[in-house]
C-alpha cells in the first residue's frame, strides 16, 4: 500500500503543490512570483527524483505505465519546465502581476502531459488531450484583454470540442471492434486482423488527428500561432516549449507500437501533414514581422520536420525524433530567454523593427540569438545539425530521396526567415534604447550555450543514455 | 603517422579560443581605441597558429603526397559518425597561405574603429572553420566545415561589406547554403552506402552507373556554388566587388578556394563519363567567364572590381588546372596559390588604404603613388608579382600549369593565356593610373603608409621572393 503511494509520488506531488500554493495564495501576505516559483521548483524536483527512482514501477499498469522511455521524455520535459518557470518569474516580477494562477495551471498541465506520456489507454489519452486543451484555453486568457483574445479562444475551444467528439467516436469504434481501449489489446487485435476495415482506419485517423491538432501541424496551426503571439510571454513560452515533447512521445507510442499494422495509411497521413507543415511553416515565417509569430510558424515547421523521422516507423525513429526535438527545444528555450532579456521602457519587444541593432546595445544577447538561430537552421557547428542529421539519416533509410530533397529545400525557406531576424539584430542601426537586462537572463543563456557547446564537441554526452534507452524500444 | 600533441586539432582550436578571449575582452565598440584588445588577441592567435603550422611542416614528410598526421575521433554513436583529421603538403600550404593572407588583412584594418571587436571575432571564427575544412580527412568533417564557414562569412559581409541592399547579402548566403545542402545530400548518400569514409577512399569509390550523373552533377554544383563562374557568378560578384573593408574582401575572396579544394578532394582517381562531361563544360564555361570578367575588369574604373576580376580569373585558372587531376599540377597549384593569396591580400590592404585616403580628400585624381615612396614601392612590387613576373612563386608555377594545359588542349591554353594577359593589363592599367604624374593630386608624403606597416610589407615581399627561389624554403630539417 505504502509502496503504491510512493510510486504515485510524481503525480501526487503536483496535487500537493496545488493545495500548498492555494493555501499560500490565500493566507500569506508577502507572496511574490518568486514564492510560487520556489514552491513549483521544490515539487518539480521531487517529481523528477521520484520519476527516476520509480522509473519502471506502475500502480495502474493497465491505464498508464512507467518505463525507460516515459522516464526519459518526462525528465526532459520537467527540466525544461523548471527553467521556464524560473524565467517566467522574472516576467511576473517585472510586470508586477500575480503569478499563482499561471503556476497552478502550468503544474496541472504538466500533470496531464506526464500522464499522457505514460498513458496506455486510448480513452485516457483522448481525455487528457481535452484536459490540456481546457487548461491551454484558460492559460491563454491570463492577463490578456478579452477583446484581443476572445476570438481566438472561442475558435480554439470550438476546434478542441470538435476533435474531442471525433476522437471519442474513434475510441468507440475501437471499443466496439477490439472490446477494449487498452493499447496492448488494440495492438494485439490489429495484428491479428488480416484486413483492417475502413471503420478502424477511420477511427485511427480521428485519434491521430487530435494529436496533430495539439501539435499545431498545418492546417491546424493557425490557432497555435495566434495564441503564441497574443498571450503573455510566460504562457507563450510554456505552450511552445513544454507540451510538444509530450505530444511527440504519445505520437511515437501510438504510431510505432499500437497502430503498427496501419503503417501504410499512417505513412501518408503523417507524411502529408508533416510536408504541409514544413512548407506552410517556412513560407509563413517569411512574411512575419512579429517575432513571436515568426517563431510560432518556425515551431510549426520544426514539428513538421520531426514527423518525417516518425514515419520511418522503426526503432531509430525514437532516437532521431527525440534528438531533433531536444536540440530544437534547447534552441527555442534560448530564443525565448532572449525575448525575456529584450525590453524597452518596460515593454517586451515584439516586432522585428524593435530589435534593430540589439547586437550593439546588448552584444551577449545578440550572440545568443545568433547561436540559437543558426542551430535552428541546422547549420554545423551548432547542435541543430545533430537533429538534422538524425532525421535525414533515418528518413533516407525509410522513405528514399523525395522527402529528403523536399526537407532540404524547405531548409532554405526557413533559413531566409531566420536571416531577417539576424539582419535586424546585426546589420541595422539601433532604433531606440533597451532596458537593463536581468543578470539571471544572462546566466540562463550562458548555461544554455554551454550545453550547446558540450553537445557539439561531444554529442554523445547528451545523447548516449538516450540512445541506450530509445534503441531498446518500448 | 598519427599527429603528435593533436597538432591538427590545435590549429583549429587556437583561433576558436582566441575568439572566446576576444568575446570577453573589455572593448567598447566604435570608440577611439575600440577593439584594440580583440585586435591583439586576433594577431596573437594567428601568429601562434602560423608557428604551429610551421612545426607541422617539420613533422610531416613534405615530399609525400598522401595524407599524414591522422587524428581520429568518435563523434556520434547513432548514426555512427567518426571524424578524421589529416593533412598533406598541399593542404598545409593552403592553410599557411590563408593564415598569412588573413594576418595581412588584420594588420591592414588595425586603425579601423567600426565594430572592431566583432570584426576580429568573426575573422577568428572563419579562420578556425577554414582551417578545419583543410585538415578534414573524412566526408563528414569536410561537409561540416564546408558549411560552417558560411556563418562568419555572412556576418562579416553583412556587417562590414557595405553592400547597399541587405537582401543581396541574404541571397548570397542562401545561394551558398544551397550549395552546402546539395553537398549534404551527397554526403548522406555516400554515408548510406559506404559509411563515414575518408577523403582518400572517396576518390576510389565507384558510383552506380544509373545514378552517377546525378551524384556528380550534385558534387559539381555544390562546389561551383563557391566559385564565381557563370551562371553561379552573380551573387558572389555582386557582393565581393562592393566590399571596401580589406579584411572582409580577403576573407570573402577565400571562398572560391574552398570550392576548388572540394573538387581536388572529391574527383575520382579514375576518370568516369559524367566527370569528363561536366569537366569539359566547366572548361568551356570557365574560359568564357574568364574572358568576360577580364574584359569587364579592363573597362571598369573601380579598382576594387579590377582586383576582383584578377582574383576570379586566377581562381578559374586554378580550377581548370585542378580538373586535370595531375598530381604534379596540383602541387604547382598549391605553390602558386600560396603566393597568389599573399599577393592579393597585400594588394587588397593597399587598395583599401588608397581608397580611404582618396575618400578623405574627396578626390579620384591620378598620381596617388607619386608622393608616397613606401606605398609606391610595395604596391608596384605586388602588382608586378601579381601579373606573373619572376618575383614570386606565381611565375614558375603558373608557367608549369599553363604548359600542362597547353599540352592537353592548345586552343584552350591559348585562350587562357590571353585572359591572363588581359587581367595583367588590368592591374598594370591601375598601377599606371596611380603612378601617372599629376600636379593636382592633393596627396603628400604624410599620406604614406607608416614605417611599421612598410617593414611588415617588406617582410611579406621577403616571403614572396623566397617562395620564388624555393616554394618550401621555410621547411628545415
Q: How many domains would you assign to chain A?
A: 1
Whether the CB of A426 is below 8 Å from some CB of chain B: the reply is yes
Predicted confidence at residue A325, as pLDDT, reads 93
State the average pLDDT over residues A357-370: 88
Average pLDDT over all residues of chain B: 88
B242: closest CA of chain A, how far (Å): 16
- When CB atoms are compared, the residue of B79, B148, B151 closest to A390 is B79
State the average pLDDT over residues A213-224: 89
| CA–CA dist A286, B62 (Å, integer) | 51
Domain that holds residue A463: 2-471
- Residue pLDDT, tens place only, B240-272: 777 889 999 999 999 999 999 999 988 887 778
Check whether the bond before B79 is cis (ω within 30° of 0).
Answer: yes
- When CB atoms are compared, the residue of A389, A412, A458 closest to B177 is A412
Predicted confidence at residue B81, as pLDDT, reads 85
Which residues 6+ apart lie within 8 Å of B342 measured at CB?
B97, B100, B101, B104, B392, B460, B463, B464
B187: closest CA of chain A, how far (Å): 11
A31: closest CA of chain B, how far (Å): 38
State the average pLDDT over residues B428-453: 86
- Residue pLDDT, tens place only, B349-406: 999 999 888 888 877 767 888 889 999 999 999 999 998 888 888 877 788 888 888 8
**CA A391 centroid distance within chain:** 17
| CA–CA dist A247, A329 (Å, integer) | 13
Concatenated DSSP letters of B103-168: HHHHHHTTT--SSHHHHHHHHHHHHHHHHHHHHB-BHHHHHHHHHHTHHHHHHHHHHHS--S-HHH
A452 contacts in B (CB within 8 Å)?
none
State the average pLDDT over residues B214-234: 86
Predicted confidence at residue B154, as pLDDT, reads 93
Does B192 sit within 8 Å of A412, measured CB to CB? no
Predicted confidence at residue B96, as pLDDT, reads 96
A315: left (phi over 0), alpha (psi -120 to 50) or beta: alpha
- Residue pLDDT, tens place only, A42-63: 999 999 999 999 888 888 888 8
pLDDT class for B5, splitting at 50, 70, 90? confident
pLDDT class for B3, splitting at 50, 70, 90? low
Predicted confidence at residue B29, as pLDDT, reads 57
Phi, psi angle pair for A433, to nearest 5°: -95, 155
State the average pLDDT over residues B78-97: 90
**Which has more pLDDT, A221 or A45?**
A45
Does B29 sit within 8 Å of A316, measured CB to CB? no
Concatenated DSSP letters of B267-308: S-SS--HHHHHHHHHHHHHHHHHHHHHHHHHHH---HHHHHH
Expressed in angstroms, the distance from the first to the final Cα of chain B is: 18
B192 contacts in A (CB within 8 Å)?
393, 396-397
B158 contacts in A (CB within 8 Å)?
422-423, 426-427
A389 contacts in B (CB within 8 Å)?
76, 79, 81, 188
Whether the CB of A405 is below 8 Å from some CB of chain B: the reply is yes
Question: What number of CA atoms fall less than 13 Å from residue A25's CA on the CB side?
Answer: 17
Query: Per-residue b/e over B269-307, b at no fewer than 16 CB within 10 Å?
Result: eeebebbeebbeebbebbbebbbbbbebbeebeebbbbb
Does A459 sit within 8 Å of B174, measured CB to CB? no
- Residue pLDDT, tens place only, B401-427: 888 888 888 888 899 899 999 999 999
B373: closest CA of chain A, how far (Å): 38
pLDDT reading at B76 higher than 70: yes
- DSSP secondary structure code for residue B3 in this structure: P
Closest residue, chain A, to B188 (C-alpha): A393
CA angle A465–A61–A206, rounded 5-degree value = 85
State the average pLDDT over residues B8-25: 91
Using DSSP's 3-state secondary structure scheme, residue B456 falls into helix
Predicted confidence at residue A456, as pLDDT, reads 75
Does A405 sit within 8 Å of B78, measured CB to CB? no
Predicted confidence at residue B164, as pLDDT, reads 67
Which residues 6+ apart lie within 8 Å of B271 measured at CB?
B325
| CA–CA dist A144, A215 (Å, integer) | 23
Beta bridge partners of B85: B71, B136
- Residue bearing cell 491505464: A63
pLDDT reading at A426 higher than 70: yes
Which residues 6+ apart lie within 8 Å of A203 measured at CB?
A169, A170, A171, A173, A174, A177
pLDDT reading at A1 higher than 80: no
Whether the CB of A459 is below 8 Å from some CB of chain B: the reply is yes
Does B170 sit within 8 Å of A416, measured CB to CB? yes
- Residue pLDDT, tens place only, A104-160: 999 999 999 999 999 999 999 999 999 999 999 999 998 888 788 888 999 999 999
Does A467 sit within 8 Å of B78, measured CB to CB? yes
Predicted confidence at residue B392, as pLDDT, reads 82
Cell numbers for B378: 610595395
Measured from the Cβ of residue B58, the count of other Cβ atoms closer than 10 Å reads 11
Does A381 sit within 8 Å of B144, measured CB to CB? yes
pLDDT class for A71, splitting at 50, 70, 90? very high
Q: Would you say the C-alpha torsion B223, B226, B228, B232 has a positive or negative sign?
A: positive
Average pLDDT over all residues of chain A: 89
Predicted confidence at residue A236, as pLDDT, reads 94
Q: Which contiguous run of DSSP H or E holds residue B87?
A: strand B81-87
Cell numbers for A259: 497502430
pLDDT reading at B124 higher than 90: yes
Check whether the bond before B261 is cis (ω within 30° of 0).
Answer: no
- When CB atoms are compared, the residue of A319, A392, A404 closest to B78 is A319
- Residues of chain B with pLDDT > 70: what percent? 96
Expressed in angstroms, the distance from the first to the final Cα of chain A is: 27
pLDDT reading at B177 higher than 70: yes
Closest residue, chain A, to B195 (C-alpha): A393
- When CB atoms are compared, the residue of B76, B159, B178 closest to A426 is B159
pLDDT class for A307, splitting at 50, 70, 90? very high
B291: closest CA of chain A, how far (Å): 33
Whether the CB of A468 is below 8 Å from some CB of chain B: the reply is no
- Residue pLDDT, tens place only, A14-39: 999 999 999 999 888 888 899 999 99
Pick from A312, A362, A319, A313: nearest CA to A338: A362
Does A392 sit within 8 Å of B184, measured CB to CB? yes
- From chain A residues 41-70, the ones with a CB under 8 A of any chain B CB are none
Cell numbers for A77: 520535459
Contact between residue B143 and residue B184 where contact means Cβ atoms under 8 Å apart: yes
Does B81 sit within 8 Å of A396, measured CB to CB? no
CA distances from residue A49 to A75, A90, A406, B475 in whole angstroms, order as listed: 9, 26, 42, 60
Pick from B376, B348, B381, B344: nearest CA to B443: B376
Interface residues on B facing A, Cβ-Cβ cutoff 8 A: 23, 29-30, 74-79, 81, 115, 118, 129, 143-145, 147-148, 150-151, 154-155, 158-159, 166, 169-170, 173-174, 177-178, 181, 184-185, 188, 191-192
Phi, psi angle pair for A121, to nearest 5°: -140, 130
- Residue bearing cell 554529442: A459
- When CB atoms are compared, the residue of A390, A396, A408 closest to B192 is A396
Predicted confidence at residue A346, as pLDDT, reads 81
pLDDT class for B445, splitting at 50, 70, 90? confident
Phi, psi angle pair for A266, to nearest 5°: -65, -35
- Residue pLDDT, tens place only, B290-341: 999 999 989 988 888 899 999 999 999 999 998 887 888 888 899 999 999 9
- When CB atoms are compared, the residue of A390, A426, A458 closest to B158 is A426
Amino acid at each position: 500500500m505504502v509502496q503504491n503511494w510512493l510510486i504515485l509520488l510524481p503525480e501526487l506531488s503536483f496535487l500537493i503543490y496545488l493545495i500548498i500554493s492555494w493555501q499560500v495564495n490565500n493566507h500569506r501576505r508577502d507572496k511574490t512570483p518568486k514564492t510560487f516559483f520556489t514552491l513549483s521548483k521544490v515539487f518539480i524536483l521531487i517529481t523528477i527524483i521520484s520519476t527516476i527512482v520509480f522509473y519502471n514501477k506502475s500502480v495502474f499498469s493497465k491505464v498508464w505505465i512507467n518505463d525507460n522511455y516515459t522516464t526519459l521524455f518526462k525528465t526532459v520535459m520537467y527540466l525544461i519546465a523548471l527553467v521556464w518557470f524560473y524565467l517566467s518569474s522574472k516576467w511576473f516580477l517585472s510586470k508586477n502581476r500575480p503569478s499563482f494562477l499561471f503556476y497552478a495551471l502550468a503544474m496541472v498541465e504538466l500533470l496531464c502531459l506526464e500522464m499522457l506520456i505514460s498513458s496506455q489507454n486510448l480513452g485516457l489519452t483522448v481525455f487528457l488531450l481535452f484536459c490540456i486543451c481546457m487548461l491551454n484555453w484558460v492559460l491563454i486568457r491570463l492577463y490578456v484583454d478579452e477583446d484581443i483574445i476572445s476570438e481566438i479562444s472561442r475558435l480554439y475551444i470550438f476546434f478542441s470540442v470538435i476533435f474531442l467528439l471525433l476522437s471519442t467516436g474513434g475510441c468507440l469504434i475501437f471499443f466496439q471492434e477490439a472490446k477494449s481501449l487498452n493499447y496492448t489489446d488494440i495492438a494485439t487485435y490489429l495484428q491479428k486482423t488480416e484486413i483492417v476495415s475502413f471503420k478502424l482506419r477511420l477511427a485511427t485517423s480521428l485519434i491521430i488527428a487530435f494529436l496533430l491538432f495539439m501539435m499545431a501541424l498545418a492546417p491546424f496551426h493557425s490557432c497555435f500561432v495566434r495564441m503564441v503571439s497574443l498571450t503573455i510571454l510566460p504562457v507563450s513560452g510554456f505552450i511552445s516549449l513544454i507540451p510538444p515533447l509530450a505530444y511527440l512521445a504519445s505520437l511515437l507510442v501510438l504510431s510505432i507500437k499500437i497502430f503498427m499494422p496501419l503503417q501504410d495509411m499512417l505513412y501518408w497521413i503523417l507524411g502529408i501533414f508533416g510536408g504541409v507543415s514544413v512548407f506552410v511553416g517556412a513560407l509563413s515565417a517569411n512574411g512575419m514581422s512579429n517575432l513571436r509569430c515568426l517563431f510560432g510558424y518556425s515551431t510549426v515547421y520544426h514539428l513538421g520536420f520531426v514527423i518525417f523521422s516518425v514515419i520511418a516507423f522503426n526503432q531509430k525513429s525514437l532516437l532521431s525524433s527525440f534528438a531533433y526535438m531536444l536540440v530544437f527545444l534547447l534552441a527555442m528555450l534560448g530564443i525565448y530567454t532572449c525575448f525575456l532579456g529584450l525590453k524597452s521602457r518596460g515593454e517586451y519587444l515584439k516586432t522585428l523593427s524593435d530589435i534593430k541593432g540589439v547586437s550593439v546595445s546588448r552584444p551577449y544577447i545578440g550572440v545568443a540569438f545568433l547561436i540559437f538561430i543558426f542551430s535552428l537552421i541546422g547549420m554545423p557547428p551548432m547542435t541543430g545539425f545533430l537533429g538534422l542529421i538524425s532525421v535525414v539519416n533515418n528518413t533516407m533509410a525509410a522513405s528514399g530521396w523525395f522527402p529528403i530533397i523536399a526537407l532540404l529545400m524547405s531548409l532554405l525557406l526557413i533559413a531566409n526567415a531566420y536571416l531577417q531576424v539576424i539582419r535586424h539584430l546585426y546589420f541595422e542601426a539601433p532604433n531606440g534604447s533597451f532596458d537593463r537586462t536581468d543578470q539571471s537572463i544572462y546566466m540562463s543563456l550562458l548555461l544554455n550555450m554551454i550545453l550547446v557547446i558540450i553537445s557539439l564537441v561531444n554529442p554523445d554526452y547528451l545523447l548516449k543514455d538516450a540512445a541506450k534507452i530509445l534503441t531498446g524500444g518500448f | 603517422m598519427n599527429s603528435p600533441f593533436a597538432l591538427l586539432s590545435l590549429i583549429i582550436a587556437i583561433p576558436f579560443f582566441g575568439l572566446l578571449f576576444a568575446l570577453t575582452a573589455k572593448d567598447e565598440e566604435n570608440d577611439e581605441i575600440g577593439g584594440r584588445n580583440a585586435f591583439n588577441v586576433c594577431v596573437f592567435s594567428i601568429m601562434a597558429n602560423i608557428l604551429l603550422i610551421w612545426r607541422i611542416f617539420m613533422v610531416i614528410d613534405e615530399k609525400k603526397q598522401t595524407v599524414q598526421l591522422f587524428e581520429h575521433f568518435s563523434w556520434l554513436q547513432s548514426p555512427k559518425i567518426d571524424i578524421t583529421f589529416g593533412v598533406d603538403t598541399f593542404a598545409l600550404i593552403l592553410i599557411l597561405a590563408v593564415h598569412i593572407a588573413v594576418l595581412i588583412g588584420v594588420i591592414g584594418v588595425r586603425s579601423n574603429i567600426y565594430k572592431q571587436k566583432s570584426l576580429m571575432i568573426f575573422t577568428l571564427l572563419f579562420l578556425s572553420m577554414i582551417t578545419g575544412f583543410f585538415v578534414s580527412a573524412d566526408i563528414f568533417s569536410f561537409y561540416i566545415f564546408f558549411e560552417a564557414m558560411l556563418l562568419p562569412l555572412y556576418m562579416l559581409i553583412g556587417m562590414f561589406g557595405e553592400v547597399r541592399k541587405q537582401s543581396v547579402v541574404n541571397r548570397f548566403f542562401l545561394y551558398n547554403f544551397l550549395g552546402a545542402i546539395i553537398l549534404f545530400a551527397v554526403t548522406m548518400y555516400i554515408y548510406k552506402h559506404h559509411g563515414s569514409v575518408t577523403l582518400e577512399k572517396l576518390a576510389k569509390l565507384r558510383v552506380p552507373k544509373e545514378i552517377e550523373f546525378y551524384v556528380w552533377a550534385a558534387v559539381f554544383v555544390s562546389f561551383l556554388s563557391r566559385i564565381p563562374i557563370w551562371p553561379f557568378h552573380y551573387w558572389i560578384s555582386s557582393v565581393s566587388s562592393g566590399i571596401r573593408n580589406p579584411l572582409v574582401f580577403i576573407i570573402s575572396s577565400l571562398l572560391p578556394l574552398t570550392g576548388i579544394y572540394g573538387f581536388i578532394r572529391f574527383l575520382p582517381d579514375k576518370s568516369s563519363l559524367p566527370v569528363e562531361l561536366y569537366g569539359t563544360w566547366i572548361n568551356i564555361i570557365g574560359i568564357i567567364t574568364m574572358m568576360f570578367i577580364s574584359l569587364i575588369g579592363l573597362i571598369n574604373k573601380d579598382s576594387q572590381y579590377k582586383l576582383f576580376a584578377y582574383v576570379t580569373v586566377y581562381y578559374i585558372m586554378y580550377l581548370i588546372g585542378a580538373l586535370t587531376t595531375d598530381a604534379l599540377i596540383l602541387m604547382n597549384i598549391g605553390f602558386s596559390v600560396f603566393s597568389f593569396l599573399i599577393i592579393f591580400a597585400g594588394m587588397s590592404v593597399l587598395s583599401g588604404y588608397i581608397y580611404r585616403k582618396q575618400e578623405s580628400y574627396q578626390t579620384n585624381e591620378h598620381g596617388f603613388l607619386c608622393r608616397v615612396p613606401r606605398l609606391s614601392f610595395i604596391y608596384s612590387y605586388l602588382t608586378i608579382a601579381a601579373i606573373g613576373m619572376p618575383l614570386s612563386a606565381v611565375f614558375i608555377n603558373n608557367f608549369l600549369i599553363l604548359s600542362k594545359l597547353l599540352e592537353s588542349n592548345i586552343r584552350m591554353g591559348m585562350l587562357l593565356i590571353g585572359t591572363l594577359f588581359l587581367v595583367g593589363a588590368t592591374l598594370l592599367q591601375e598601377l599606371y593610373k596611380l603612378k601617372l604624374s599629376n600636379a593636382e593630386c592633393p596627396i603628400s608624403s604624410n599620406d604614406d603608409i607608416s614605417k611599421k606597416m612598410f617593414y611588415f610589407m617588406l617582410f611579406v615581399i621577403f616571403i614572396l621572393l623566397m617562395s620564388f627561389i624555393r616554394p618550401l624554403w621555410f621547411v628545415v630539417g
